Amino acid sequence: MNIVEKILRRASGKERIKPGEIIEVTPDLVMSHDGDNIYNIESFKDLFKGEKVWDPQKIVMGLDHNVPSNSTSTARVHSVMRKFAKEQGIIFYDQEGVLHQLMIENHVKPYQLIYAADSHACSYGALGALGIPIGTTDNAYLWATGSTWLQVPGLYRIALTGRLQPGVYAKDVALKVIGEVKCNGLVGKVAQFYGEAVYEMTLSERITLCNMAAEGGALSAIIDPEKPEIEDADLIIDLSELEPLVAVPHQVDNVHSLKAVEGTVIDQVFIGSCTNGRFEDFAVAAEILRGRRISPDVRLYISPASRKQLNLLAENKILNCFLDAGAILLNPGCSLCFGSCQGIMDDGEKLLTTGNRNYKGRVGTPNSYIFIGSPATAAASAITGKITDPRKFFMESKIE
Partner 1 sequence: MKPIKGNAWVFGDHVNTDQIIPTKYMLLTSKAEMARHTFETLEPDFYQRVKPGDIIVAGVNFGCGSAREQAVEVLKELKIGAVVASSFNMTFFRNSINLGIPAIVCDGICGCIKNGDVLSIDIEAGVIEVAGSASSYKIEPFSDIVKDIIKCSGLVNYYFKKRKGKSV
What count of other Cβ atoms lies within 10 Å of the Cβ of residue 384?
20
CA torsion 199-204-206-212 (nearest 10°) is -160
Rule CB under 8 A: choose which of 5, 9, 45, 48 binds partner 1.
48
User: Does 45 help bind partner 1 (rule: CB under 8 A)?
Assistant: no
CB of 188 to partner 1, least distance (A): 5
Binding range to partner 1, per CB under 8 A, among 131-139, 257-265, 301-309, 392-400:
131-139
User: Does 95 help bind partner 1 (rule: CB under 8 A)?
Assistant: no
User: Does 77 help bind partner 1 (rule: CB under 8 A)?
Assistant: yes
List C-alpha distances in Å: 263 to 103, 296, 342, 350, 385.
38, 16, 26, 12, 9
Q: Which helix (H) or strand (E) holds 94?
A: strand 91-94
State the alpha helices, DSSP H only, in the chain: 3-12, 37-42, 72-88, 99-106, 136-145, 170-181, 196-199, 203-211, 258-261, 273-276, 279-289, 307-315, 318-325, 335-338, 375-384, 391-399
Q: Which helix (H) or strand (E) holds 351?
A: strand 350-353
User: Does 362 help bind partner 1 (rule: CB under 8 A)?
Assistant: yes
Compute how many residues bind partner 1; rule: CB under 8 A.
45
User: Does 366 help bind partner 1 (rule: CB under 8 A)?
Assistant: yes
Measured distance CA(125)–CA(387) in Å, rounded: 31
Q: Which residues pair with 271 in a beta bridge?
A: 302
User: Does 39 help bind partner 1 (rule: CB under 8 A)?
Assistant: yes
| Residues between 214 and 253 that touch partner 1 (CB under 8 A) | 217, 219, 251
User: Does 26 help bind partner 1 (rule: CB under 8 A)?
Assistant: no
CB 97 within 8 A of CB 65: no
Q: Which amino acid appears at position 325 of this protein?
A: A
Cβ distance to partner 1 smaller for residue 34 or 224:
34
User: Does 19 help bind partner 1 (rule: CB under 8 A)?
Assistant: no
Query: What Rg do the C-alpha atoms of the chain give, in angstroms?
Result: 21
The distance of Cα 58 from the centroid of its chain, to the nearest Å, equals 22
Closest C-alpha to 179, from 369, 372, 368: 372
User: Does 147 help bind partner 1 (rule: CB under 8 A)?
Assistant: no
Rule CB under 8 A: choose which of 76, 83, 109, 163 binds partner 1.
76
Cβ distance to partner 1 smaller for residue 248 or 383:
248
What would the x/- binding string for partner 1 be over residues 167 to 206, using CB under 8 A? ----------------xx--xx------------------
Q: Which amino acid appears at position 398 of this protein?
A: K
Polymer length of the chain: 400
User: Does 361 help bind partner 1 (rule: CB under 8 A)?
Assistant: yes
User: Does 348 help bind partner 1 (rule: CB under 8 A)?
Assistant: no
Cβ distance to partner 1 smaller for residue 10 or 182:
182
User: Does 260 help bind partner 1 (rule: CB under 8 A)?
Assistant: no
Binding range to partner 1, per CB under 8 A, among 87-95, 117-125, 165-173, 193-201:
117-125
Measured distance CA(338)–CA(274) in Å, rounded: 11
| End-to-end Cα spacing for the chain | 54
Rule CB under 8 A: choose which of 145, 161, 257, 316 binds partner 1.
145
CB of 183 to partner 1, least distance (A): 6
- Site for partner 1, rule CB under 8 A: 22, 34-36, 38-39, 43, 47-48, 66, 71, 73-74, 76-77, 117-119, 133-138, 141, 144-145, 149, 151, 183-184, 187-188, 217, 219, 251, 338-340, 357, 359-362, 366
